[in-house]
Each structure stands twice: as structure tokens, then as C-alpha cells.
Amino acid sequence: MKRLTSKVIVITGGGGVLCGAIAEGLAREGAQVALLNRTFEKAEAVANRIRAQGGQALPIACDVLSKAHCEEARKKVIDAFGPCDILINGAGGNDPRGSTARETWEAGDLEKDGSAAAGSFFSLDPEGIEAVYKLNFMGTFIPTQVFARDMIGRAGCSIINISSMGAFAPMTKGLAYCAAKAAINNLTQWLAVHFAPAGIRVNAIAPGFFSTEQNKHLLWNPDGSPTTRTGKIITHTPMGRLGKPEDLIGAALWLCDEGASGFVTGAVIPVDGGFMAYSGV
């Protein structure tokens, strides 16, 4: 028996590598999946893969930082499938302007004249920091505000946010991204408490390290060999590898399935190959 038959699932960032894999996995379980993505062609490519497997999918161009865009997407979802049962907030990402070039402070980060060296903490662009925060935090808040209204008082509804290992222990270089994902953890808990009387569960998945279009330049050298950073990650991952996109499907399915996780809310589930459990010694 397919566990999500008749469920309407909205996935922001649905055209991405990780959320695209989640969407395909949930569609195989009978869900009707709406894929919201800033780039329509990416959402359409995932939708076509789902349809080729006999599933139901609706690609929608949507900027999650625009409430008007999200409201329009909500109308399209209702017209095609009905009201949203499950929202997966997968839209997010980083911006080079919110990251340092070096892992720690180094002599020379401040020049003798007091000016900031390129790539240092002191040269970080406040607008870049803000952009990362807005994409990850506001890009979760706004779709939740729009789609949660359709979940009030309806059985089996839930919200799943996408967090990160960086939310628990910040990664070097990625200042803005890690801080924004820490805010997602806090938001997840706040929403879980707030919406409990309405019967809406709110949880998050915290992926470990996966190779995506956004981070491949950090993980792989131009010749395809792993970078030093990738070596550090794998050394610190007891399972000894990076995650594969399909590794996220089981956790997402469990959190979507009211019969399996109906008493789970406010939780952040690591899918990290043991990364968070390992102290390094």
C-alpha cells in the first residue's frame, strides 16, 4: 500500500538535487507533489521524471521571498490537487558574500592601514549576510505563513523544514549559512509549539554533507578529486562517505506519514552518516 495516497505535498526548492530526490520518493508513495522553484525549468525536469514513473507532479515558478508569488502558487496547487497537506521548506542556499575565504583568522586579515583583506571576516558584505539569512529564514517563514492556513484543523498535516549540520556546530567559512540554519532549528521548535493545538506537526531534517550544484566547488577539485575540505568531512563521518540524495527519502517519508510519526513534533532529524555523533576522537 502506498502510504501517501491522496496527500498533497508542496516542496519549495523542488527543482534542486536534494529536494528533487525527496519529491520523487514521495511521489512513488502516491503523493501529489507540487514543485515550487525559482527556475521553472528545474522544477519541470523533476516533474517530468515523476510523471515518467507514473506519479503526479506540478511544477510552479515561485520566488519564496515574495508572499505574492507564494499566494499565487497556493492557488495553482489548490486548482490542480486541492489544499496542501504537507509543506516541505527546501528552498535555501548560500552566497559567497556571506562566507570567508579562510577557515580561521590569519595575520594579514587587517592591513597596516586598518583596511580589511579580501576574504576576511572584516571584509564580509553585510548585504551578502542579509541575503543568505533572507533566503533561508524568510524563504521558510513566508511559504509556511501562506500554506499553513490550509492545514488548520485537518488531520495528517505537517511541515518539514530543511536544516543543516551547520545549525548544530557552525562550519568554518560559512558564517551566514550556518547562522541562518540555526535559526531554522529554532523556528521549527517555535512553530511546533504554536501549531500543536491546530493539529499541525512541524519538524526538520538536517542533512549531513551531500554533493550538490551549490557546493560542488567546495567539495571537488576541477579534476574531480576531493578537496581537502571533503577529506576532513569524510574523516569526521563514521560511515565514511558523503550522502546520496536518496538517503533523505526515508526520513522525509517517515515525517510525512502520520501513522509512523504522529507523535513527533519539534524534532530535528540528522541524516548525516554519524557526523554529529562523532567527537573526532
Q: Which amino acids are annotated catalytic?
A: 177
Picking from 91, 88, 81, 82, the residue whose alpha carbon sits closest to that of residue 61 is 91
- Tell me the β-bridge partners of 243: 210
Alpha-carbon distance of 271 to 261, in angstroms, equals: 16
Alpha-carbon distance of 136 to 93, in angstroms, equals: 7
Strand blocks (E) in 15-153:
32-37, 56-61, 86-89
Alpha-carbon distance of 147 to 10, in angstroms, equals: 9
Phi/psi at 92 (5° precision): 170, -175
How far is CA 47 from its chain centroid? 18
Alpha-carbon distance of 131 to 254, in angstroms, equals: 32
Q: Which three cell numbers stand for residue 116?
A: 580589511
Helix (H) or strand (E) holding 15: none
Q: Which three cell numbers stand for residue 223?
A: 579534476
